[in-house]
Amino acid sequence: MKPTASKNRDLIDQYPFISIIMRAHIEPYGGVDERQVDDLTIKVQKADGDLMWRQADNIGLEDHSFSFSTAGNRKGQVARRGECIFAISHDNLIINRVDWPRNDDERRKNRGEIYAWSVFYTSKMRNASNNGYLHANSIVDKMKYMVWVSIEAWHKGSGNHGGVEIGARFGKLTERSMEITIYSEPDEGFDKLHENSPLMNHLYLSSNVIMRAISTQNHDILAIDGRIAELCTLFQDEVYFNGMKDILDNSRCRGASGQFGPVKVLCAGMCGYDRVMLEDPNCWVTYQLRPGAKSMYVLGMGGTLPNIRRITKTVVEAWGGDSKNREVFKPDKKVSVI
């Protein structure tokens, strides 16, 4: 939507800090006018526990990563993405801002994990007892909104791939889009929301989050990873080695899929590996079996622990219930699994 669209103009009038955010220096920048905004989306909702533990999903800011499109108007284009969060006072002023490290694991290791609730504090102090950090100078009592900003800069693909200098694959800028989500203060207040929202239930898990936890020895996140591994064992014992693998083995196309309530199950054999992906609109998880192995492992995921647990148990319960439930899982030559 154009920034000048009537819906956007109404929201900018209602929330005057939006226009200030639009003029702020936020990577990835534009072309001649580094702060140009070609497409603007504004959302308003109430803050929740997932927001407290949200982390930026930056792409292509300091490494060789990038987004791309294979169809539609952006076919052949590549993109960078940058995200940050602002704290807004009761008189609509920006009183704090948090940016994440630019895809640099060493800086993350040195600074510790950064979550959205970090915007409640304006400074950090080193904790001598564990070589970590303590947040200081809380401004949470002055806050009325938390504002999450996500920017994507789409470029024509240069045709350069892998191993090239950072930025070399990004050609001429085609569009810089901005999505602004305004989170209003919950009834219990931001401070209580954070207190009542444990990381175990609200952290969005991904392969990057787990790998970083391993490198930094973040025991809280590693404990969550252990619970995902237990779900993998549950799935393999109750579903995969209890009939699902037989369907895949007996399929001429070496692929199968099925729908169990809201959960879609995609199964495929790839280079000797058996891969099963469970997904619904809120999360996904992929379990994989190596050639000749007797146990599966977690290949990747996207979602919170409760959501990953829910989709796994949904399939387990459906598979082990009425035998007719298994009939929805059938060979599928078009299946695609990540």
Mean of pLDDT over the chain: 88
Q: What is the CA radius of gyration of the chain?
A: 23
Domain ranges of the chain: 6-197, 222-331
Res. 63 pLDDT band, cuts 50 70 90: low
- Cα dihedral angle (26, 31, 34, 39), rounded to 10 degrees? -70
d(CA 26, CA 151): 8
Q: Going by C-beta distance under 8 Å and a sequence separation of 6 or more, which residues neighbour residue 117?
A: 52, 53, 190, 194
For residues 164 and 114, is the Cβ–Cβ distance under 8 A? no
71 has a pLDDT exceeding 70: no
For residues 335 and 268, is the Cβ–Cβ distance under 8 A? yes
First to last CA, the chain: 31
For 59, 84, 89, 127, 142, the CA distances from 184, given in Å and listed in that order, are 27, 17, 11, 32, 13
**pLDDT at residue 112, rounded to an integer:** 64
Q: How is residue 33 written in tokens?
A: 């006018």
| Phi and psi at residue 21, to the nearest 5° | -60, -40
Residue with tokens 């050639």: 291
For the segment 149-191, what is each residue's pLDDT rounded down to a tens digit? 999 998 887 666 554 455 567 888 889 999 999 999 999 999 9
57 has a pLDDT exceeding 80: yes
d(CA 171, CA 60): 13
For residues 234 and 312, is the Cβ–Cβ distance under 8 A? yes
d(CA 225, CA 108): 19
Q: How is residue 49 written in tokens?
A: 């526990």
